[in-house]
Amino acid sequence: EPRAPRAPPSPPAAVLARIVDLLCFCVSHHSYRIKYFILRNAVLEKVLALLSRRERFLAAGAVRFLRTCLGMKDEFYNRYVIKHALLEPVADAFLRVAGRYNLLHSALLELFEHLWRENLKGLLAALVASPRWEELRRVPYASTFARLLAKHEQNAHWEDEAGGAGLGTAQGVVGGTLSLCAPLDAPAAKRARQAAREEEDGYFSEAAQEPEEPPGAPPEEEGAVDDALAGRPRRIVDYDDDDDDALHIRATSLFRPSAFQQGSGGGEKRLRLELGSWSAPENGGD
């Protein structure tokens, strides 16, 4: 009897781990070309199949590859994961290792935390709609799934409010996010323009009603206004400007270099003369 052909031997776990690392590098550095390679060759499905392997480091590498794809913040990967229900094997793997606190458990829990932290609305909705969701919610030690459910309900409530205000998903809300390019419907646009016009009219009417200065109020002193405009502190005693100018000229002539560049005793003699002429008026005044 002809024997059935044997299946090719599976590559060693170390080789598969290197391949997964190479794919993570390609996703990070060749984001444009790798997307079409993943789409044509079902790379994500094949990598996530490693979650059922016995080698925990290899299963953790598969989670790391999915985390790298979602960390690119590219809607291509989000839609691909939702379309092919790739969160199902992730949920199954988490339920298998729940309570073991190993490397794979930590990697899966961090992946769910990433969904909550980045608020990936489509993936949150797909996870909550998963048939394994009720089992995930019953995990007693992980509060991550309670936060995921609260975030999903918050997104749904926001979309309902936006739809009730006339900004439906087809016109103003795209994927749970308000689209700035989507046009408002005519009544909403009219109300927005009317509110802006009323706010502008109210602003100018308040400006026109500001109290003016009473006619009998004493005007400010001219010196105080000049000091305020000049930005300098007022002096305690106001001296005449002529005295300040004379003091500045005398000090400049006293300390200029030429006064000290004479012979051995010329500089000191001139300094005494200058100081004597400076203090003479004060002695005469006494």
Q: Mention every residue, 6+ apart, whose C-beta is less than 8 A from residue 56.
A: 102, 103, 104
| Residue 282: inside a domain | no
More confidently predicted of 41 and 280: 41
For residue 210, the number of C-alpha atoms closer than 13 Å in the C-beta half-sphere is 7
For residue 73, the number of C-alpha atoms closer than 13 Å in the C-beta half-sphere is 3
Residues 134, 45: Cα–Cα separation, whole Å: 24
Burial 43-70 (b: 16+ CB within 10 A, else e): bbeebbebbeeeeeebbbbbbbbbebbb
| Host domain of residue 90 | 13-164
CA distances to 42, 60, 75, 107, 161 from 80, rounded to whole Å, are 10, 21, 8, 21, 28
| Residue 33: inside a domain | yes
Say whether pLDDT at 65 is over 80.
yes
Instruction: Extract the runs of DSSP E, i.e. beta strands, from the chain.
Output: 173-174, 177-178
**Range among 96-100, 133-137, 194-198, 275-279 with highest mean pLDDT value:** 133-137
Q: pLDDT tens-digit profile of 232-255? A: 555 555 555 555 555 555 555 545
| Residue 160: inside a domain | yes
* Stretch 52-73: mean pLDDT: 94
Could you tell me which of 56, 130, 50 has the C-alpha nearest to residue 91?
130
Say whether pLDDT at 55 is over 60.
yes
Please report the pLDDT score of residue 83 as a whole number.
95
| Residue 199: inside a domain | no
Q: pLDDT tens-digit profile of 164-217? A: 554 444 334 344 443 333 444 455 656 666 776 676 666 555 555 555 555 555
Please report the pLDDT score of residue 139 as a whole number.
87
| Residue 118: inside a domain | yes
Say whether pLDDT at 272 is over 80.
no
More confidently predicted of 213 and 127: 127
The identity of residue 190, as a single letter, is: K
| Residue 184: inside a domain | no
Q: What is the mean pLDDT of the chain?
A: 74
Please report the pLDDT score of residue 37 as a whole number.
94
pTM: 0.56
| Residue 178: inside a domain | no
Please report the pLDDT score of residue 160 as a whole number.
80
Residues 8, 202: Cα–Cα separation, whole Å: 80
Say whether pLDDT at 93 is over 90.
yes
Please report the pLDDT score of residue 126 as a whole number.
94
Say whether pLDDT at 26 is over 50.
yes
The angle that helices 75-83 and 31-41 make with each other, rounded to 10 degrees, is: 10
Split at pLDDT 50, 70, 90, the class of 259 is: very low
More confidently predicted of 114 and 200: 114
* Stretch 264-268: mean pLDDT: 54
Please report the pLDDT score of residue 270 as a whole number.
60
**Angle in degrees, CA 123, 39, 26, rounded to 5:** 90
Please report the pLDDT score of residue 9 as a whole number.
77
Split at pLDDT 50, 70, 90, the class of 142 is: confident
The answer to whether 38 and 44 have CB atoms below 8 angstroms apart is yes
* Stretch 12-32: mean pLDDT: 94
More confidently predicted of 251 and 120: 120
Residues 40, 21: Cα–Cα separation, whole Å: 20
The answer to whether 37 and 79 have CB atoms below 8 angstroms apart is no
| Residue 123: inside a domain | yes
Say whether pLDDT at 285 is over 50.
no
* Count of structural domains within the chain: 1
